[in-house]
Chains A and B, each alone.
Chain A
Amino acid sequence: MFSEFFQFTFSGITLGAIYALVALGFTLIYNASHVINFAQGEFLMIGGMGTVVLVGTGLPLPAAMVGALVLATVAGILLHRLAIAPARDADVVTLIIITIGASIFLRGLAQFFWGKEYHALPRFSATESLSIGGATLLTQSLWILGIAVVLVVALAMFFSRSKLGKAILATSMNKDAARLAGIKTQVILGVAFGISALLGAAAGLIVTPITFTAYDVGIMLGLKGFVAAAIGGLGSSTGAVVGGLLLGLSEAYTAGYISSDYKDAVPFVIILAILFFLPNGLFGSRAAERV
């Protein structure tokens, strides 16, 4: 009974850590450019699939991972450079469609070059699982949690300590002021897209050993990341992490205690319930609209 609960909690936190990373990626791009990037899920796909393919060419796993992360980061920067920057004055919906076009494009490329098959990666540790209090813990879950924590902390330090991080923050707060202060805002936005892609790819990579990957895994993962970001109140990093964990846990409990048929519906029920009471998410700003 208790061990079951413990088991669900642990897999929920694992899943939640992944969603949190995707949500952080959304948040980063949203803050920098007010774009909701529907291609975010494709970065996860590139992280997982890229590693699989590079391993297939004979590269050792760590090198393959680095290769996939670099590939995703470049894709993120190019996405901004080629598709978002030229359309920066367009309507919000138009931008949504552009990122949707980008996601179809990236998915198409993956399908063309890498095929439609499902792939797995080996676990990062030789020992597959540990048994604690009757519950089985996958060592991969520990890897996921550890890496997620490191990434979140690194991101926080990046924004509070580094010059580049501060420039991104300044740009997201007030683009014109940042430009006047001599910040090359378009370059900065490109960097934000790159980091966001890197985060997504890392999430996609570390989750692949337990969930499989394929050219089309990005759709659902991306959507759930969007939900997690919205739960937190688009634009709040704390909110993104909380939203991600909340999603992961509720999904795991639903699958465990209620029905796994409806587990994919859980994130969407939760976000609807939250928006019903808090139209700007948990951590969103509630300032009155200026007239």
Chain B
Amino acid sequence: MKEARAMKKNILISPYGGLLLLALILALMPLAVSNDFHYDLLTKICLTATVAVGLNLLVGYAGQVSLGHAAFYGAGAYASAILTSQYNLSPMVALLSAAAGVGVMAWLVGRPILHLKGHYLSMATLGLGVIAAIVLNNEEQLTGGPDGVGLPPLSLFGHELSVFGEYQFAGLTFTGVELWYLLAAAVLVIAVLLALNIIDSPLGRALRALHGSEIAAQVAGVDTAKYKLRVFVISAVYASVAGSLYGHYSGFITPTVASFEHSIELITIVVLGGMASTFGVIIGAAILVLIPQFLTDFQELEMVVFGAILMAVMIFLPRGLLPSVLQRLQRGAQ
């Protein structure tokens, strides 16, 4: 009896308890929001958070900085666009092919650059990201150039999922916007579950050791080059899947999805929310999606306020929002 209670408590404070809480919050969200606009924001938060959870494996846990991660997000989105509209693949097949392709691409570019250290790695990933954005802008025949390209609605098991549709399930009526939110939320929960599993495994320990002490990892038998490459590919696939989904959701993408600014936004989410904190980066994603909404009141001062908030948080809470807050709570409890 006592043991059972102890175990229950363990689950609640373990990361998997966090996952339950996350799933609960996401499931209850529809009670709190009513209009399409809110659903739109929630869907964007979930998709952005999915990328961030993957990027956090690379940056927060394994300590390898990427300033070009939007390239993989953009590659996923564009691959889906091109495969569906020019090669007539069904969206799901396109999404999976895109993920596989982006994984291979990450493996190929990761091999030569991941042995770089510190700022040189930042430089190289940044360079790859900028090059990807320039290619998307210039290869107009394939990508539509700066004007962008359209995507068909997603289809699941033969049913089209359009934001403009209405759907009946077991006597209930859902709008397409609501279903898209549920889909994005489910994707996020799965993304978090997989990430938590990775972190709590020999693979996860090896990855964290890359950050903690690469030398310790090496002499403990970790092939550091291989593991860097692995987590690079994993995080790229996360980005690709989220990119493909975003493309189908918005129905239209431009090269800005792969821009340097977007890469910076992604890394900001990770650092702001809390490196090596899976739930922290979800909060980071929510903040970065929502901040522009709150800042519309400031209109012309939006950038000033955003820049100031970013600096202030990083100066006063250098470990990121969630880890810093948790640390303070813990200290308070003691």
Contacts and interface: CB of A to CB of B under 8 A. Distances in A.
On whether A and B touch (CB less than 8 Å), the answer reads yes
Interface of A: 30, 36, 83, 86-87, 89-94, 96-98, 100-109, 111-112, 219, 223, 226-227, 230, 234, 261-262, 264-265, 267-269, 271-272, 275-276, 279-281, 291
A86 B122 CA distance: 23
**6 A-B pairs closest in CB distance:** A108-B303, A105-B307, A101-B310, A104-B307, A268-B127, A108-B304
Given A93-B59, A111-B300, A279 B115 contact: yes
B190 interface: no
A275 B305 CA distance: 37
B123 interface: yes
Contacts of A92: 65, 118-119
A42 to B, nearest CB: 10
B314 interface: yes
Q: What is the predominant secondary structure among interface residues of chain A facing chain B? A: helix
B318 interface: yes
Nearest to B270: A93
Contact of A98 (B119, B215, B275, B314): B314
B46 interface: no
Interface of B: 59, 65, 67, 112-113, 115-120, 122-124, 126-128, 130-131, 134-135, 138, 215, 260-261, 264, 267-268, 271-272, 275, 300-311, 314-315, 318
A163 to B, nearest CB: 30
Given A100-B264, A100-B268, A268-B131, A109 B315 contact: no
A230 B260 contact: no
B16 to A, nearest CB: 27
A98 B302 contact: no
A22 to B, nearest CB: 14
B127 A272 contact: yes
A98 B123 contact: no
Contacts of B122: 36, 96
A101 B131 contact: no
A97 B271 contact: yes
Contacts of A281: 120
Contacts, number: 134
Nearest to A79: B311
A102 B120 contact: no
Contacts of A107: 303, 307
A98 B268 contact: no
Contact of A223 (B130, B271, B275, B314): B130
Nearest to A97: B271
A105 B65 contact: no
A105 B113 contact: no
Given A94-B271, A98-B311, A234 B119 contact: yes
B306 A108 contact: yes
Contacts of A103: 307
A280 to B, nearest CB: 7
Given A87-B314, A112-B301, A230 B307 contact: no
A86 B271 contact: no
B320 to A, nearest CB: 8
B216 to A, nearest CB: 10
24 contacts: A91-B275, A92-B118, A93-B271, A96-B67, A97-B267, A97-B268, A97-B271, A98-B310, A100-B264, A101-B308, A101-B309, A101-B314, A104-B303, A105-B304, A105-B307, A107-B307, A108-B303, A108-B304, A108-B305, A111-B300, A265-B135, A268-B126, A268-B131, A279-B116
